[in-house]
Structure 1
Amino acid sequence: MITTIKGTPSYRPDIYTRDAILHPYPHYRRLRELGPVVWLPRHRVYALPRYAECKATLRDDATFGSTESVAMNPVSNRLSRGTTLASDGTEHDQRRKLVAHRLMPRALRSIAESVDAAAAAVVDSAIKRGTVDGVDDLATVLPLAIVPDLVGWPRDGREHLIAWGGATFDILGPLNRQAVKAIPRTLQMLRFARRVVRRRTVLEGSMAHELLAVADEGRLTHDDLPALMVDYIAPSLDTTISAISNALYLLATHPEQWELLKSDRTLLTSAVNEVVRVESPLRAFARGVRADTELGGVALPSGSRVLVIYASANRDELEWDDPETFDIRRDSGRHVGFGNGAHACAGQGLARLETTAMLNALLDRVDRIEVAGEPTWAVNNIIRRHHHLPVRLVGA
């Protein structure tokens, strides 16, 4: 039985209500003010709202494990078995190495030209229309044109990918209404992936095709493949859609930053990092405490759980000067928006490549980005991104 440690501050509001998901930052600020480790009685977990403790936890898999712990509820932890996200140690390393080499910078350079061309086509189409949805017409189109082919997802099963991918994240929160609603879609995606593996209908030359060959050689079981396919396609879509749509919104609402970027494209890398710092694609993941330990001066018992709040760490006043301000000149490379350590998002290089390609295409063709209506945020336990983002692209 997990009990709170005497003297540890508590925070009673539920940070997973609909309102808290849509407006998370006041909650995070209050958590950071309370201390480096804060007990959340509603979820029986120790929240880590500050940067130092988050990064230390992410870099210590021996003490803070993901197996059977990465989700905030036991149902999802069972469903996540077999993924790199929910594995540790040798098992995690072996699974990740099977296909992660395809997401390394050297491998991604081979597709950079096609990504740039796809981004240019997406922006050209949007400019002709004038006012578009920054999510559906820009941020989503590019990843959908790139990621499924790279992973090897069959072309006849892509119409549900966005909904399915969002669901695989939603179930990783507490077992609230959001998570319960997401379970059927998560199971649909997994069943589809199982059917793909059974029928061997993956795209030739893709990640999944390589995994099938590995399984045929006996280095992996065929039953492991569906979870790994889902493991790579869902994050590679959602993190990129988040990064691109958040970049559009932040540059539209901070026109001085857009002008700064137009005048100096050497700031592109830092601009992408700053977007991910200010609006982190991933809200938080849990970890299980494997042995008695101390964090931030607080003794944590074996068997307890911590919640690593990436989005709060990236706005920690102890780590960043004026953290609420969006400034592309800031050195934001140390953010934890894509995680850190062994479990850092394997698809982050692809997300950076696609986001940079989209920004370059916009810089080449667009004078101004304007918000053209009321944006709405998606309600998801884990992913932070817009649901709709009406924008007007004013051609250069």
Structure 2
Amino acid sequence: MNSLGFDKPPAQTRVVVAMSGGVDSSVTAALLQAEGYDVVGITLQLYDHGAAIAKKGACCAGQDIHDARRVAETLGFPHYVLDYESRFRDSVMEEFADSYLRGETPIPCVRCNQSVKFRDLLGTARDLGAEALATGHYVRRSVGAQGPEMHVAEDADRDQSYFLFATTREQLDFLRFPLGDLPKREVRALAERFGLAVADKPDSQDICFVPNGSYARVVEKLRPGAIDPGEIVDIEGRILGQHQGIIGFTVGQRRGIGIGGTEEPLYVVRLEPESRRVVVGPRRALARDRVLLREMNWLDNALPPEGVRVAVKLRSAQDPVPALVRPLGWSGAEIQLDEPAYGVSPGQAAVCYSGSRVLGGGWIAETALTQAEFTGSRDAERVSA
């Protein structure tokens, strides 16, 4: 068996490497070529090439395409640039805009992995005769009793498993993640050792198609006239002020609300896109212990009706918390948290873990508070978002 799990020499194993132009994917390609694999690099042009030339910290456009091509030339393997701009706009950017207008807080990087990279690019890799698609993601893949499994990266600070929850079992069978066992500092050291010009290149920080983090500007461009002003109200419905569009707010937000002079700090509790209202309240009003999911993707054996105990991550930067997850309908699920969480936002993902293993996850559709002891009242209060 070679290092990718195939019963043949590396030279007889073609691997397509998804190259974004950054240090991680470049080192992935270099490592595989150094082992003797038949490497083919592919970079996707995902949005306007010219507009992104000068944008630092982006990926998949402009300078990054040039950097990926230069790495391939340095190492001596073929490299292709595929124009996926229309697919990216339809599958990622349009959904991003619609999600914000629904009062959600979307994660376009997950949609990009789910649709463009691990669906369309994976199909292209097969067409090229590849036996695997390798990426520079920090996540581990191993083969268990039931087939391939996804596990968190060895370097917890770099782990990207939250953003890969929508990867299907079939896709995971074809994917490889050579950096999953490496710390970032070692990856940069390898880039220097291989003589790659991107060794000191900064990591991507912003969403690639959102210049300077201005989500509102992108949504306004994609949905002209769809952003309307409205009222900021407290949880009793009293008007506290005005806003210029709900896309400027997210559940759990404290700063930038524009309302002062209150006894307690105010947080965004929920967004009501139909009435264009932003509802604010004290932190305790954010408490949620029930989370409903849509588009559930489960990587383990079928989720039993009675549910399973998991640790669930409700935002990428938060630690997992204990919960019970149960199937709900055809492709949904219900998560009951042991303790209430604060700032759980529709549009984000809930990703379930068992130890280091990623069991699956889904998109947060609704949240509620159901347990009376968390409300301070005699009756259980249901507060949905």
Question: TM-score band (shorter)?
Answer: under 0.3
Structure of higher RCO (CA pairs closer than 8 Å, 6+ residues apart): 1
Q: Name whichever structure is richer in helix by fraction.
A: 1
Q: Name whichever structure is richer in strand by fraction.
A: 2
Q: Rg bigger for which structure?
A: 2
Q: TM-score, normalised by structure 1?
A: 0.26
